[in-house]
Each structure stands twice: as structure tokens, then as C-alpha cells.
A and B are shown apart, each in its own frame.
Chain A
Amino acid sequence: MLEVKNISFEVAQNDGTTQIIKDLSFTVPTGRLTVITGPNGGGKSTLAKLIMGLEKVTSGQILWNGQEITDKSVTDRARLGIGYAFQQPPRFKGMKISRLLELAHGSPLSEEECCSYLSKVGLCAREYISREIDATLSGGELKRIEIATLLAKKPELAIFDEPEAGIDLWSFAMLVDTFDKLRKSGEQTVVIISHQERILQLADDIMILQDGGIRAYGPKEEIFPTLNSINMVSHACMTNERGTC
């Protein structure tokens, strides 16, 4: 179970600080699929990074399976079973896709196993396993390989940051199917940051994050019907006197 208690995250800006995450508290129960959605700039990706340790909270606590991880490094959190698929994954000159999958998995993989992970994200596997993760890959290919690394790692808590971004329609259908299987297996706790209705429909729970705070959080059946009625225009924008947003 993931427990987030009163976390805040501030960044220095001009002469002062800006609060990106504001005193946030919530729990993600084990084995459930939670989709975090909300307007751009609302703090979704920042929250995912704070859970993975890629950013450090300004205040508050994060607990994973009852253990406080607030001050733990990214590596330590990964070893405790937390995984994260980057929204914009890096390229690795010289590294083969099969090597990255093996690093994620933590042990050597057969060609069939590598192919299986790549197939789950809609990549024609045999063409890819010996390719390098370099500029010859398109953004969409890179993104799908990133998702495949998290499938290969199979962490207890898997966080996907906008997995649909840059992915074509056909691969997206495959991805939705893969997430659906993850949810049905119940073997992992899954957090997906997404705006896609088809991914929202997969959720056990939906959290709406807006202006660094939780606007709504609860079972899909309760939250999903209200999405259209929620004003997603950010508070900052509403207070813009000139109304230029």
C-alpha cells in the first residue's frame, strides 16, 4: 500500500517559491489500478516523480508497505519494488533494446521473453531486440520500449506517466489491453497518469489533480460520471484578470 501524507513540493521562482504540490494526502491500496488525471500543469507528473524519488518533497511523508521512503534514493525505492515509466524517456547510444529489458528484469532474458514484452506494447519484436536505443527510434517507439521496460521489471508498484503520449492508435489499443490484463491480474499496484478516456475506464480508482491539490478521488463508478461536469480550468487561469487563457 502506498501512503502519501501531507506532502508539499515547492520550486524556487523569481524572488519567491511556487508550490506545485499542496499538502496532499491519499492512499493507493495494494493491487488496484489508479488513474490520476486533471488539467495540464496540475501537478500529476510531479506527484509521480515524488513517489519515485526523482524529485524530493519539501515536506510531508511517503510510506510504501508501511516503510517510510521519503528520504530514500531512487535506487532504494526501485529495490523496494517501485517502478516508473518516464513520460519522455532518454535514449542510450550503443545500448541494445534487449540489454535495457534485461537490466529492467534484473536477469538475462531469452529472445522469446524479450519479444513477449515488446509484443505487449505493439512492437514487432524480432525487428527491435537488437536495435540500439538511439536517434533512429521514433518518439513513439521509444515510448513503447519504455513501457516494456516496466513490464519486464514488474515492480510491486508500477507508475506510468502519460503512457499514451506519442503512441499511434493501433499501438494504443494494444496498450489498453495490456493495462487491462495488469488490472485483472491484481498482482501489481498500478498508477497511470492519463487523459485518455479508455484508460480512465480501466481504473479501479480515479484521482483528479488540479492546481497541486486533489479535486476528487474515489472509485471509478463514482468519479468517472462527474468528469464532464468538473471545471478543469485551472484556478490560476480563472484568476487571470485579462482572461487570456
Chain B
Amino acid sequence: MDQSVIEKMLSTIAGITGKVEGAFNLRQNGQGVERYSTENVKIVSKTDRPGIDILVRPGTRGESVHIPVILTESGLDDLVYNDFIIGEGADVTIIAGCGIHNDGHAKSEHDGIHSFKIGKNAHIRYVEKHYGEGTGTGERILNPTTLITMDEGANCEMEMVQIGGVSSTIRKTDATLGKDAKLLITERLMTHDNQSAVSDVVIHLNGEGSSAQVISRSVAKDQSEQVFHPIAQGNAPCHAHIQCDTILMDGAHVRSIPEIEANHSEAAIIHEAAIGRINNEQMLKLETLGLDEQEAEKIIIDAFLD
């Protein structure tokens, strides 16, 4: 595969444009091809199954970890288990992301099972971008599973972005929050052509004072389909707010299934969901600024998914 294709995908999914600062692991076509650890962040291969452990020493602050995955071979079925153990009081940024370049006619699939154990008072920012491209008819499939366990006072910000070009995705996210833990999930999704995307999120707010916020924004174009099923379960005095907004275009289909469950009298949980076409007033406003219909539409969508 042309190196420029790989470089372009690394830039798109993980913002990598040269030498990476901090710990790094590149998985390409089912194999680890490049890896660095740092004194505070160790990346080690699993011995019982494919994947890596990312071990962040307690108290580590300000470091970043990049773990991109790239598939360029058509017909590959890649399954990987990545476990993140974040030590007490650490504060790190993790940039994941998966890009599939499929020029063939066979399907390429990557299933990443990510498990996070976030220690007491630790903070992580996790960014995961998914992207597909290629000239072949082979499907590009990404099925991520994210399992999160948060100790007391832990803080987790997750940005999950699917930019486009992914034929099918089933995303499963399951989070369990301890006392005073705080979780923010920001989901951005674009589907087009005949693509389909399913996102199931389950958040168990088990600890007193825990809070969770899910902000999901998506655009469904052409004949694509999307299904959102976020569940917030309050088992203690806690707060949760789920907000799903979708811009519907062309002949797309979208289902948003809110589910909120309170098992404690002091659990406060809110769900908001909206599906609709681009607001005509927004289009007209941008047209009064001299933009044509196509330009206005693109700007509204780009801003919505930014």
C-alpha cells in the first residue's frame, strides 16, 4: 500500500502528521507495526489474545497516548482487545481511531474491544475517530465496544466521531460510575449512501454524586439508517442528561429510543431527542450572506458535527 495513503489516514483519524509525542502504538492490517512506551505510559502486548494493555502510572499528568489502527487489505477481519488501566490521579489524553482503506471487493472489518479502568480522581480525554475510504465495493465495517469503569472522583471525556465512509457500525458503550465520577460522551456521526449505524449506550450511575452527560449529534443522508438507544440508569443520588439531535436528509431513516431509569429517589435524569430536516430559516439566513444552497447546507452540517 502506498505510504501516502497511510499517512493521510493517520492524519485524518488521529491528527498524526509526523513524529508522535508520547506513547504510541500503530496497528496495521492486524499486526502491531510500531510502538513506543514512555516512563509513565507502558504499552505491552497481551499474551492470551490479540491486543495491548496501556498502563498509565498513578499521578502521570499531561501525557498523550496515540493508538491508531489502519486496515488497507481487503478481506481482513481484525479483532483486538485493548485494556487501559489509568492510575490514581493521572491526567492523560488518549487518541485512538480507525481508518479502513478498501480498494477490493471483500469486506474489511475491525472490531475493537476497549476496556477502561479509571482510577480514583484520574482524568482522561479519549478521542476516537472512525473513517472509511477506497474504490472497491467491499464493505468497510467498524464495530467498537467500549467498557468503562470509573472509581471515585474519576473524570472521563469521550469523543467518538465517525466522519464518513463506514458501511456499517454497531457501537456499544457501557459505563459504570462510582462516587462523584463524571462522564461526558460526545458522539458525532455521519452516514450516507446505504450505510447503517447503531449506537447503544448504557450508563450505570452507581455512586453518590456521580453524573453523566451524553451529547449525540448525527447527520443521516441518502438512504442510510441510524439507530440510537442510550440508557441512563440512576442507582444513587446522581444526575444524567442525554441529548440526541439528528439532521435527516434525503431518504434516510433514523430511530432514537430514549430510555431512562431511576432506582433511587434522588436520581435526576433527563433525555432529549430531536430528529428533523435542516431548518429552512438557517438556510435562508446563510443565503442572505451570499451562500448558495449547497454551500449553506454544508456549513450547517459541518458546524453541527464540529
Residues of A within 8 A of B (CB): 52, 54, 73-75, 78-79, 83-84, 86, 89-90, 92-96, 99, 103-104, 106, 149, 153
Inside 8 A of B290's CB, which chain A residues have their CB? 75, 78-79, 106, 153
Inside 8 A of A95's CB, which chain B residues have their CB? 299-300, 303-304, 306
Residues of B within 8 A of A (CB): 217, 245, 279, 281-282, 284-293, 299-300, 303-306
Inside 8 A of A153's CB, which chain B residues have their CB? 289-290
Report yes or no: B287 in contact with A75, Cβ–Cβ below 8 A.
yes
Could you tell me the distance between the alpha carbons of A83 and B291 in the complex, rounded to whole angstroms? 12
* 11 interchain pairs, CB-CB under 8 A: A54-B288, A73-B287, A74-B284, A78-B291, A83-B289, A90-B279, A90-B285, A93-B303, A93-B304, A95-B303, A149-B289
Report yes or no: A78 in contact with B288, Cβ–Cβ below 8 A.
yes
Could you tell me the distance between the alpha carbons of A18 and B306 in the complex, rounded to whole angstroms? 44
- CB within 8 A of B303: which of A74, A78, A99, A149? A99
Could you tell me the distance between the alpha carbons of A95 and B279 in the complex, rounded to whole angstroms? 14
Could you tell me the distance between the alpha carbons of A75 and B285 in the complex, rounded to whole angstroms? 10
A93 with B281, Cβ < 8 A, contacts A75-B292, A78-B289, A103-B289 known: no
A-B contact number at CB 8 A: 59
- CB within 8 A of A94: which of B281, B292, B305? B305
* Closest CB in chain A relative to B160 CB, distance in Å: 16
Report yes or no: B281 in contact with A90, Cβ–Cβ below 8 A.
yes
Q: Which residue of B lies closest to A103 (CB)?
A: B289
Report yes or no: A75 in contact with B282, Cβ–Cβ below 8 A.
no
Inside 8 A of A86's CB, which chain B residues have their CB? 281, 285, 288
Inside 8 A of B300's CB, which chain A residues have their CB? 92, 95
* Closest CB in chain B relative to A49 CB, distance in Å: 10
A104 with B306, Cβ < 8 A, contacts A93-B217, A94-B217 known: no
Report yes or no: A74 in contact with B287, Cβ–Cβ below 8 A.
yes
Q: Which residue of B lies closest to A52 (CB)?
A: B288
Nearest 8 pairs of A and B residues by beta carbon: A95-B303, A90-B281, A78-B290, A74-B287, A94-B303, A94-B304, A75-B287, A90-B282
* Closest CB in chain B relative to A51 CB, distance in Å: 11
- CB within 8 A of A89: which of B285, B291, B304? B285
Could you tell me the distance between the alpha carbons of A126 and B282 in the complex, rounded to whole angstroms? 25
* Closest CB in chain A relative to B270 CB, distance in Å: 14
B217, B245, B285 pick with most chain A CB within 10 angstroms: B285
Inside 8 A of B285's CB, which chain A residues have their CB? 86, 89-90
Inside 8 A of B287's CB, which chain A residues have their CB? 73-75, 78
Q: Which residue of B lies closest to A80 (CB)?
A: B290
Q: Which residue of B lies closest to A81 (CB)?
A: B290
* Closest CB in chain A relative to B60 CB, distance in Å: 29
Inside 8 A of A96's CB, which chain B residues have their CB? 303
Q: Which residue of A lies closest to B280 (CB)?
A: A90
Could you tell me the distance between the alpha carbons of A4 and B306 in the complex, rounded to whole angstroms? 42
Inside 8 A of B279's CB, which chain A residues have their CB? 90
Inside 8 A of A75's CB, which chain B residues have their CB? 287, 290-293
Could you tell me the distance between the alpha carbons of A13 and B285 in the complex, rounded to whole angstroms? 27
A84 with B217, Cβ < 8 A, contacts A94-B305, A94-B306, A99-B303 known: no
Inside 8 A of A149's CB, which chain B residues have their CB? 289
